[in-house]
Amino acid sequence: MMEEQTFQFQLNETPPFFKNLAYGLQWVIIAIPSVVVFSTLCGAALGLDHAAQISFSQRLLIAAGLMTLLQSLLGHRYPLLEGPSSAILVTFIILAPYGLPVIEGGMILGGFFLILIGIFKWFKWLSSLFTPHVVGVILILVALTLLSFLYPLLIGMNKVYPYGELSIFGSSLLIILFVSFLSHRLRGFLQTTSVLAGILFGLILFLFKGGISLTVVRQSSWFALPSPFLGVWPSFSLPAILAIVCTYLAVMVNTVGSIQGISEIVGKEGLEDRIHRGIGMTGVGGLIAGLLGVAGLVSYSISPGVVLVSRVASRYVLTTSGAIMILCAFIPKLWALLTAVPPSVIASVLFVTLSSQLMVGINVMLSGKEQFERREYFTVGIPILLGTMVSIIPKQFFQLFPNAIASLVGNGLVMGILFSLLLEHLFFRPQKRNDKEA
């Protein structure tokens, strides 16, 4: 653990007002690009028009700000940023054709599931299921199963250009190289702004090409409530509920990993209670996301790096950051500008972040050893290939299944997680060696 004197402000210290405000704004700068990326992809999956897209973005930022505030005060009480989850994004997109009410119903019950785990402290029992192989498979599958949705955006497929445009594909490759170069070359806090820089670069690129209209930005007001403020009335579908509950297991693993990571830096006092409070509050985030009609949230694992760079470990800075995000959500002109960014730019930036996540998954599985064992060829390889295959199979195939399970078996992430657990703990469970054999 890091020495306490290396921080300008410790975990439970409150910086002076103006410093607190400045530190909080740094976190907001980091948070906004992910909100823009995820809201754009969710909006595209739902087929939202520009006004509805702005409202969705506002509501997602409110959810992210509120959860950052609540986690810092009542949940794990660590300096961790909350934002939309990649795992939830996969399931959100897959369930989008079934309608937002079905997604909301699943999100609400998925949230209740995590609240129960937090209240009754079930993580001790569940943690044994999530071996490094299972966690690695989850991280890799989140990246791979999103490709089927990303590639049409990366090459500019639409009704006018059903096979894409070379100019869009070229721009996407340029943005991918730009973001990855900045992320590799920059150091410290600037490294965390490479995503924002990539979005701005793409925006400028398309402005020169004449591919962006700022009419909506000029017409938007400076202050207004999201319209609508809440999502639609939820609908409860068993396959959707099972899919989202399974996805929330992946979210839980991500949350615990973020909490354990930050604890190594700012202190492990009461860690077990913090983990369960954090899991339970992530469940509350699922309820809030369901009510607002947006994607679910998770604690971001980049947070420890930001804390080390800024040398500010105060959780109250995140409280301030959450409050600023909520205020920013009521500025439609800001969100009209951000949602004017072409989807191909957003997809290009996400492509880079997913490539990093894929490699993190491989590192998790190889942690502490030089190569895979033979059993791992199957416990890792089969779930990854199966989940990826399910994500690229034509959607019409899943209409052959009964309606009750079509949305479940058509979710590559969920199928990959289920098969990973099945193969890891049942079919290829490692045999215990006897002392005499050792």
Per-residue pLDDT tens for 229-250?
A: 888 899 998 888 998 998 898 8
pLDDT above 90 (res 183): no
- Angle, to 10 degrees, between the axis of helix 132-145 and the axis of helix 147-155? 30
Total domain count, the chain? 1
Least confident stretch, 168-172, 278-282, 284-288, 300-304 = 300-304
Spatial separation of the C-alpha atoms in residues 380 and 342, rounded to whole Å: 36
HSE at residue 127, side-chain half, CA atoms within 13 A, is 13
pLDDT reading at 92 higher than 80: yes
Which pLDDT band holds residue 191 (cuts at 50, 70, 90)?
low
Average pLDDT score over residue span 262-284: 91
Residue 384: inside a domain: no
Whether the Cβ atoms of residue 310 and residue 189 lie closer than 8 Å to each other: yes
Within a domain: 180:
yes
Q: What is the mean pLDDT of the chain?
A: 85
pLDDT bin (cut points 50, 70, 90) of residue 139 is confident
* pLDDT tens per residue across span 44-71: 899 998 888 888 989 999 999 999 999 9
Does residue 239 fall inside a structural domain?
A: yes
Higher-confidence position of 402 and 190: 402
Model confidence at 132, in pLDDT bands (50, 70, 90)?
confident
pLDDT digits (tens, 9 = 90+) for 409-436: 888 888 999 999 999 999 988 776 554 4
228 cis-preceded (ω within 30 degrees of 0) = yes
More confident residue, 261 or 316: 316
Give residue 435's pLDDT: 45
Token output for 364: 């998790």
Give the residue with greater pLDDT, 345 vs 407.
Answer: 345
Please report, rounded to a whole number, the percentage of residues in the chain having pLDDT higher than 70.
93
Whole-angstrom distance, CA of residue 418 vs CA of residue 149: 22
Q: What would the pLDDT profile of 163-180 be if each residue is shown by its tens digit?
A: 888 989 998 999 999 988
Residue 405 lies in a domain: no
**Residue 9: strand pairing partners:** 312
pLDDT for residue 118 is more than 90: yes
Does 141 have pLDDT greater than 70? Answer: yes
Residue 155 and residue 227: Cα distance in Å, rounded? 32
Give pLDDT, residue 4. Answer: 44
SS3 371: coil
Region of poorest pLDDT, from 58-62, 157-161, 212-216: 212-216
How many C-beta neighbours within 10 Å does residue 45 have?
Answer: 17
Of the pLDDT bands very low, low, confident and very high (cuts 50, 70, 90), residue 360 is: confident
Q: Per-residue pLDDT for 306 more than 80?
A: no
Least Cα distance to 391 among 142, 74, 157, 171 occurs for 142
Residues 6+ apart with CB under 8 A from 423: 378, 379, 382, 383
What is the rounded distance in angstroms from the CA atom of residue 27 to the CA atom of residue 211? 30
386: in domain: no
- Cα–Cα distance, 409 to 417 (Å, whole number): 12
Element (H, E) at 32: helix 17-46
Query: Which helix (H) or strand (E) segment is 297 a member of?
Result: strand 297-299
Q: For residue 191, give its domain range.
A: 10-368
Which residues lie closer than 8 Å to 396 by C-beta, 6 or more apart?
A: none
Joined together, the tokens standing for residue 59 give 């509501």
Q: Is the pLDDT of residue 1 over 60?
A: no
**pLDDT value, residue 434:** 54
Distances (CA, A) of 13 to 79, 91, 150, 225: 12, 39, 43, 33
Sequence-ordered list of residues with C-beta below 8 angstroms from that of 425, at least 6 positions apart, any chain: 129
- Tell me whether residue 428 is in a domain: no
Range of weakest confidence among 89-98, 100-109, 155-164: 155-164
Q: How far apart are CA 396 and CA 289, in angstroms?
A: 29
Would you tell me how many other CB atoms lie within 10 Å of the CB of residue 290? 24
Cα–Cα distances in angstroms (integers) from residue 181 to residues 175, 185, 200, 387, in the given order:
10, 6, 15, 30
Which has the closest alpha carbon to 237: 335, 102, 120, 334?
102
* Residue carrying the six token digits 């492990």: 268
Q: What is the mean pLDDT of residues 83-98?
A: 89
Q: Name the more confident of 176 and 332.
A: 176
Identify any residues that bridge with 297 across adjacent strands, giving them in sequence order: 84
Answer whether residue 23 is part of any domain: yes
- Residue 330 has phi, psi (to 5 degrees) of -95, 20
Residue 410 resides in a domain:
no
